[in-house]
């Protein structure tokens, strides 16, 4: 039902004061009639007429406003029909001025017409009734109530002696009053306004009926204008309530329309009518025609109403049947099992899905307590949750959630999640409702995901997250000692690049298998990511170091893959669990030790201590600052003389690089060159040394044309295509003969790529530059390499000179090497001579030249030039 706009009709009539002015004027006329100043009936006609016209105007203006602004046709008709009822009220009072049978007929008809329009208008007002069926029900309820009471009153009072017009008006007024009363009491919206309107209509009908009966009986007098005041007040209330003044635009009904809600209204009046009929029959013995007509009418109305009730019941039953079918289909097809429990947790009902979901028949469940179905280990938690719910702790919150294992119909314990809702306050339920869901698959998935989150998918070992968790648990154990190993693989990137990722993954899997095969039951192996592995062991320092050594040995063994064999190297860092404040610091210590092991070479094991971190930070600082050292003028060259062992005369010098670090002091080549190779600037340093050494050599006035310069060259620089041209440019720029330059190549580098080294040295020899094989004997180069390498000098490592020998003899290995070198036409230089005995041993073995602290220490260019001047002169 549409709601009329607020206040607009009232504002067109005026303010509230203006609204009461006209009814007050009518009331004054009626008061004059009561006082005898004006005849009674003319006062009634004038006073009620004025108020009736006013009420009619207000209600019709309301109807027109609703019609134009809202288009609410029913509400428009409701206000309009009430306006017609108000107009008929005034006309009925005016008819009383006439005499005769026609006037009586018009008066009775006016009461009936007024009641009919009051009923229709009240029924069509907003909120009175929503549909035609409900309006019809309200009409029959009121009509049955009115006829029943009218029938009882007719039999039990002297009404049967009143004129027929008075009797008709009374019955019509009673019917109208009853119908309006039912409609107003059942109003769904705007109840205050509906009550004002209903009270006003009821007052109008009662007073109008009384006035008509008084006039028909000719006993009115001053009582007539007094009843006119009641009529005027009723018309004013009806106009006020019917116009819905000062109401909000949008309201929701407080309750829905229930077809059967009015049924009890007829029980008492119908019983009163029956009792009255029985008493009348006993006392009088007969019924008049009017009584019979009233009784038949009452029965007909009640019968018609019962037929409507039966129709409503059938419709309502059909609706319930459909809803029940929907409910059963939903419950039967649900994925949850629904249980209904009483206060003692006894199962009173289970949903049809129980058999399909859990294999539980009603006989297995109904009558047992809910806790009997739960695993004994989970009963305590379930009981606590339900008791908290029963105590009201979850009254305003969500239902209680219970995680427990439930035994199904096959005797299998299944993981379930149950929500328990307290519906005891709902009269239709009055129980606990439990929804049980099988969460076994979800729990299995959660456990699987949890396991996967702590497992490396490639190797099957634990991952970094799992290792850190275990490391934390290890540290929490009182008195627990242990060691963390961090393992770094070398060469995996080259395998991925040359052989492919699949080969690299196969190697990682095999590495993981080998590491795992070396561990004990309490050890934990993990892949930290990429080519890094970790091992957590409860063993102390000695056993952990032994384990790390075995891991290095195992990882070094060749990997036989389909169609190929690959090799890896590794570096291992160890750190004690008690050496760090937390797990992250222990891991950092082990990683620092691993980094230090990698700096010192391959296949090494290093323990963490404070010196390791100091050396590592020193290495990092040097790597960061080396690239700009030449531009800052921090690089320098010193020269160490090479002396003929026959006459002790210098025949050449070896240029040695020095880094004069402003904070760390002098950095020697043993530390400097690995750093240069790591940061990729070894070639630039070799070129700088060659340029600076040649410049110094060209400036020396002593030494002679046969005095040579020896310079160390890294393999990367030696194997570049531009190196021979670059050497030729430097020699030509400084005016140095090519024969005076000797390029030193370390023996340890030769084995990496012998053909490439041979080709590079051959290119230098074609330009007249000589070559020397440096530190021979320190590495694992074969003696057969001497036949292939185009070298002119063979520089023996100090280890060959220091080998023990019998008194007065030279070591056998030294004799073999010198003899082979002389056969190949090589000039032999013994390096590292630090005593006269070593000088004599080298001379006896047949070495041509010597180099070492016993013959001359490295010195700057100026001092070396002075040394040459004093010795060659």
Helices (H), 583-642: 583-600, 610-626
In tens, the pLDDT along 707-727 reads 889 998 877 777 777 888 888
The reply to whether 148 and 172 lie within a common domain is yes
The reply to whether 92 and 231 lie within a common domain is yes
Residue 410 confidence (pLDDT) above 90: no
The reply to whether 466 and 413 lie within a common domain is no
Question: Do 790 and 771 meet the contact criterion of CB atoms below 8 Å apart?
Answer: yes
The reply to whether 726 and 851 lie within a common domain is yes
The label of the residue with tokens 């307290």 reads 422
CATH number at residue 394: 3.30.450.20
Asked if residue 615 is part of any domain, the answer here is no
Given 608, 638, 669, the domain boundary residue is 608
Alpha-carbon distance values, 489 to 460, 486, 492, 515, 640 (Å)? 18, 10, 7, 12, 39
Domain count, the chain: 4
Reading the block at residue 421, the tokens are 């809702």
CATH number at residue 593: 3.30.70.270
What's the whole-number mean pLDDT along residues 301-310?
70
pTM above 0.75, yes or no: no
Asked if residue 324 is part of any domain, the answer here is no
Asked if residue 313 is part of any domain, the answer here is no
Asked if residue 120 is part of any domain, the answer here is yes
Q: Which residues lie closer than 8 Å to 685 by C-beta, 6 or more apart? A: 630, 635, 657, 673, 676
Asked if residue 1 is part of any domain, the answer here is no
In tens, the pLDDT along 804-850 reads 655 444 567 788 888 888 888 888 999 989 888 888 888 888 898 99
Residue 393 confidence (pLDDT) above 60: no
Query: Which stretch, 544-548, 618-622, 835-839, has highest mean pLDDT?
Result: 544-548
The reply to whether 93 and 13 lie within a common domain is yes
pLDDT band at 127 (very low <50, low <70, confident <90, very high): low
Report the distance separating Cα 164 and Cα 176, nearest Å: 18
Residue 333 confidence (pLDDT) above 70: no
The reply to whether 200 and 288 lie within a common domain is yes
Asked if residue 623 is part of any domain, the answer here is no
Q: Which residues lie closer than 8 Å to 318 by C-beta, 6 or more apart? A: none
Q: What is residue 233's predicted lDDT score, i.e. its pLDDT? A: 85
The reply to whether 292 and 349 lie within a common domain is no
| Nearest by Cα to 94 from 48, 51, 58, 57 | 48
Asked if residue 85 is part of any domain, the answer here is yes
Tell me how crowded residue 654 is: count the other CB atoms within 10 A of its CB. 24
Given 383, 413, 445, the domain boundary residue is 445
The reply to whether 439 and 463 lie within a common domain is no
In tens, the pLDDT along 568-617 reads 999 999 998 887 778 888 888 888 888 888 877 788 998 888 777 777 77
Q: What is residue 758's predicted lDDT score, i.e. its pLDDT? A: 83
Domain that holds residue 430: 333-445
Q: What is residue 155's predicted lDDT score, i.e. its pLDDT? A: 59
The reply to whether 517 and 422 lie within a common domain is no
Asked if residue 721 is part of any domain, the answer here is yes
CATH number at residue 670: 3.20.20.450
The reply to whether 552 and 486 lie within a common domain is yes
The reply to whether 423 and 544 lie within a common domain is no
The reply to whether 731 and 637 lie within a common domain is yes
Selected residue with higher pLDDT from 477 and 766: 766
Selected residue with higher pLDDT from 347 and 165: 347
What's the whole-number mean pLDDT along residues 384-393?
77
Selected residue with higher pLDDT from 39 and 287: 39
């Amino acid at each position: 039902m549409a709601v009329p706009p607020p206040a607009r009709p009232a504002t067109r009539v005026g303010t509230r004061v203006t609204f009461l002015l006209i009814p007050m004027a009518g009331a004054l006329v009626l008061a004059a009639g009561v006082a005898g100043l004006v005849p009674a009936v003319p006062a009634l006609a004038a006073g009620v007429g004025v108020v009736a016209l006013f009420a009619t105007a207000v209600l019709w203006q309301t109807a027109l406003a609703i019609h134009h602004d809202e288009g609410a046709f029913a509400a428009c008709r409701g206000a309009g029909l009430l306006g017609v009822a108000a107009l008929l009220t005034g006309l009925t009072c005016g008819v009383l001025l006439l005499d005769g049978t026609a006037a009586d007929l018009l008066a009775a008809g006016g009461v009936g017409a007024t009641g009919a329009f009051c009923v229709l208008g009240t029924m069509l007002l907003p909120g009175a009734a929503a549909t035609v069926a409900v309006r019809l029900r309200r009409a029959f309820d009121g009509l049955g109530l009115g006829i029943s009471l009218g029938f009882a009153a007719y039999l039990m009072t002297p009404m049967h002696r009143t004129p027929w017009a008075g009797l008709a008006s009374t019955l019509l007024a009673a019917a109208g009053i009853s119908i309006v009363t039912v409609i107003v009491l059942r109003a769904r919206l705007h109840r205050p306004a509906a009550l004002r309107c209903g009270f006003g209509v009821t007052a109008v009908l009662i007073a109008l009926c009384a006035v008509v009966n008084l006039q028909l009986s000719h006993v009115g007098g001053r009582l007539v204008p007094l009843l006119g005041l009641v009529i005027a007040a009723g018309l004013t209330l009806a106009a006020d309530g019917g116009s819905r003044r000062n109401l909000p635009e949008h309201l929701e009904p407080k309750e829905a329309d229930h077809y059967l809600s009015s049924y009890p209204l007829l029980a008492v009046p119908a019983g009163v009518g029956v009792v009255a009929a029985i008493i009348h029959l006993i006392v009088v013995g007969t019924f008049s025609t009017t009584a019979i007509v009233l009784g038949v009418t009452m029965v007909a109305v009640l019968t018609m109403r019962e037929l409507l009730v039966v129709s409503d019941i059938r419709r309502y039953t059909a609706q319930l049947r459909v809803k029940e079918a929907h409910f059963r289909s939903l419950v039967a097809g649900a994925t949850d099992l629904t249980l209904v429990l009483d206060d003692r947790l006894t199962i009173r009902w289970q949903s049809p899905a129980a058999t399909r979901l859990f294999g539980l028949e009603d006989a297995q469940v109904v009558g047992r307590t809910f806790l009997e179905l739960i695993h004994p280990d989970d009963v305590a938690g379930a009981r606590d949750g339900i008791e908290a719910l029963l105590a009201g702790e979850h009254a305003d919150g969500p239902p209680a959630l219970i995680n427990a294992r439930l035994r199904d119909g096959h005797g299998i314990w299944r993981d379930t999640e149950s929500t328990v809702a307290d519906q005891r306050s709902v009269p239709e339920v009055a129980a606990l409702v439990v929804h049980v869901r099988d969460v076994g698959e979800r729990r299995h998935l959660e456990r699987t995901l949890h396991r996967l989150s702590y497992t490396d998918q490639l190797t099957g070992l634990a991952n970094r997250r799992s290792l850190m968790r275990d490391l934390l648990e290890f540290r929490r154990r009182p008195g627990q000692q242990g060691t963390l190993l961090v393992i770094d693989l070398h060469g995996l990137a080259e395998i991925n690049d040359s052989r492919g990722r699949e080969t690299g993954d196969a190697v990682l899997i095999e590495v993981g298998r080998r590491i795992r095969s070396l561990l004990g039951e309490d050890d934990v192996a993990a892949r930290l990511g990429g080519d890094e592995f970790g091992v957590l062991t409860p063993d102390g320092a000695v056993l952990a170091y032994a384990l790390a050594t075995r891991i290095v040995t195992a990882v070094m063994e060749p990997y036989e893959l389909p169609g190929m064999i690959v090799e890896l190297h590794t570096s291992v860092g160890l750190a004690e669990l008690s050496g760090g404040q937390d797990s992250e610091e222990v891991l950092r210590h082990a990683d620092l030790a691993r980094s230090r092991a990698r700096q010192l070479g391959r296949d090494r094991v290093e323990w963490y201590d404070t010196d390791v971190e100091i050396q590592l930070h020193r290495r990092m600082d040097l790597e960061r600052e080396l690239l700009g050292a030449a531009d800052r003028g921090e690089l320098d060259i010193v020269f160490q003389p090479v002396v003929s062992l026959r006459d002790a005369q210098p025949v050449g010098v070896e240029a040695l690089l020095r880094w004069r670090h402003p904070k760390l002091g002098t950095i020697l080549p043993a530390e400097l060159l690995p750093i240069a190779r790591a940061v990729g600037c070894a070639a630039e340093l070799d070129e700088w040394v060659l340029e600076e050494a040649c410049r110094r050599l060209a400036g020396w006035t002593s030494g002679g044309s046969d005095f040579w310069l020896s310079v160390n060259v890294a393999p990367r620089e030696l194997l570049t295509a531009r190196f021979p041209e670059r050497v030729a440019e430097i020699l030509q720029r400084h005016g140095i003969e090519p024969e005076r330059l000797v390029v030193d190549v370390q023996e340890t580098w030769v084995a990496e790529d012998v053909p490439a080294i041979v080709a590079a040295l051959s290119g230098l020899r074609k330009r007249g530059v000589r070559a020397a094989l440096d530190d021979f004997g320190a590495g694992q180069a074969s003696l057969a390499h001497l036949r292939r390498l185009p070298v002119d000098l063979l520089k023996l490592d100090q280890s060959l000179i220091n080998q023990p020998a019998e008194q007065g003899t030279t070591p056998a290995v030294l004799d073999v090497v010198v003899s082979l070198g002389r056969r190949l036409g090589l000039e032999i230089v013994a390096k590292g001579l630090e005593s006269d005995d070593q000088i004599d041993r080298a001379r006896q073995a047949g070495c041509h030249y010597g180099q070492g602290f016993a013959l001359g220490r490295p010195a700057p260019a100026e001092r070396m030039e002075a040394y040459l001047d004093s010795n060659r002169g």
